[in-house]
Amino acid sequence: MSGEQVVTCPAMLIAAPASGQGKTTVTAAIAHWHRAQGRRVRVFKSGPDFLDPMVLECASGAEVRQLDLWMGGAEHCAALLATAAQQADLILVEGVMGLHDGTPSCADLALHFDLPVLAVIDAQAMAQTFGAVVHGLATYRPGLRLAGALANRVGSPGHARMLRDSLPPGIAWHGFLARGLDYTLPSRHLGLVQAAEVRDLGKRIAAAADALGAHGPLPLPPATRFRAPSVSTRRAPGRELDGVGIAVARDAAFSFLYRANLDTLVELGARLEFFSPLADEPVPPCVQALYLPGGYPELHLQELSAARSFGESVRAHHAAGRPIVAECGGMLALLDSLADASGHRVPMPGLLPGHAELTDGLVNLGMHALRLAEGEIRGHTFHHARLHTRLEPAHQTLPQRDHGKPEAVFRVGRLVASFFHMYFPSNPLAVAGLFRP
């Protein structure tokens, strides 16, 4: 193809048979170890996730972006990988869920880009069955390159030898992490605890890296060829938001931000102004639009309820007819009231009539699309909160799965609010329509 550029870089996808096997810990440890050897490491996260990338950024020292064949598309993923290959000595991709779970799956991603796969398996309750699990992961999809296996939560060196000896021919042993040591990453209802809240995160990552490297240097994966989309085929956004100032809430309560979403707004020409509702900072007066991403407002109820400057400024912004995009936690922070898991309820700014409370279980999860007059925007939903409102939805999202549950999308003036997290690169022009004054 004319204009196509091919670059090479050692690369590997780190996957598992299921969630909770330790992929993030292992990916962070490998990134840290190679970075300590002086290598430039770039890490990606497969699928929709805000929390794992925070840990991976700490480990690699570089920004982490998503690779998802459904949300972003193959061309978008190819461009991200090719750019990283030009800048790095090693590319790591952390998988999501199990290797073969979902459509498209991590295996689909590995096959599309010819990435070798390292299988991370929680082996604390198995012995030789470890080898059978590895064999199944390796042979379920023809053409998949399962290059190695790593055992997590291992009980002893003797246990590790049994696991290693069970591996089928052609699958390399990449070592193990023992259970019960100091590199476990804490979690809460939506996944891992945010990286900034784990004071000794760097120490935990370094301990895991040291444990993996204790028996010898970690091998570099083979070089993979990446093809950057040509200029003629790349879907570059125009400058539809040229000169538009967009305030972006960013703090411990509003931290669920795709790096690629910010990239897209900048590529569209927007000028981003970050502010902290938790610190009671008002919406910057020099902006024309407001973006309230998701996060953990339920963990900061008192601070947000008492943030009068923020509340007054967001009401004034809305009254002036300026655009607001509020996703998940951002939407919850605009209701009449919000309650935490214990039932403690506080008043909020009240741009949206209704209230919400945190529940003990998952309310909705999955990949979704939102069809607007401007086009389709893809993304996902994942929340434990339940919303009660008299508002009629302006739109309903379309779940990717046949049995999925749609999410309501509300419009009040120029406010667009939903539990749905949009992935802006999926349709920059449609996103520009939401933010354009």
Domains, the chain, ranges and CATH? 5-228 (3.40.50.300), 245-435 (3.40.50.880)
Residue 286 annotated among the catalytic residues of the structure? no
Q: What is the pLDDT along the chain (437 residues), one digit of tens a residue?
A: 445 689 999 999 999 999 999 999 999 999 999 999 999 999 999 989 888 999 999 999 999 999 999 999 999 999 999 999 999 999 999 999 999 999 999 999 999 999 999 999 999 999 999 999 999 999 999 999 999 999 999 999 999 999 999 999 999 999 999 987 777 777 655 566 776 777 788 899 999 999 999 988 999 999 999 988 765 444 556 799 999 999 999 999 999 999 999 999 999 999 999 999 999 999 999 999 999 999 999 999 999 999 999 999 999 999 999 999 999 999 999 999 999 888 999 999 999 999 999 998 899 999 999 999 889 999 999 999 999 999 999 999 999 988 899 999 999 999 999 999 999 999 999 999 999 99
Distance in angstroms (rounded) separating the CA atoms of residues 149 and 163: 10
- Cis before 104? omega within 30: yes
On the 0-12 / 13-18 / 19+ scale of CB atoms within 10 A, 403 is exposed
Which residues 6+ apart lie within 8 Å of 8 measured at CB? Answer: 85, 223, 224, 225, 226
Give residue 192's pLDDT: 61
| Helices and strands per DSSP (H, E), number in the chain | 12, 25
On the 0-12 / 13-18 / 19+ scale of CB atoms within 10 A, 310 is buried
CA R_g for the chain: 22
β partners of residue 148: 118, 172
Q: Please tell me which residue in 58, 77, 106, 328 is annotated as part of the active site.
A: 328
Three-state DSSP class for residue 312: helix
The reported pTM is 0.93
Q: Taking the alpha carbons of 218, 224, 230, 233 in that order, is the dihedral positive or negative?
A: negative
Angle in degrees, CA 234, 97, 216, rounded to 5: 90
Distance in angstroms (rounded) separating the CA atoms of residues 122 and 23: 10
Distance in angstroms (rounded) separating the CA atoms of residues 432 and 293: 16
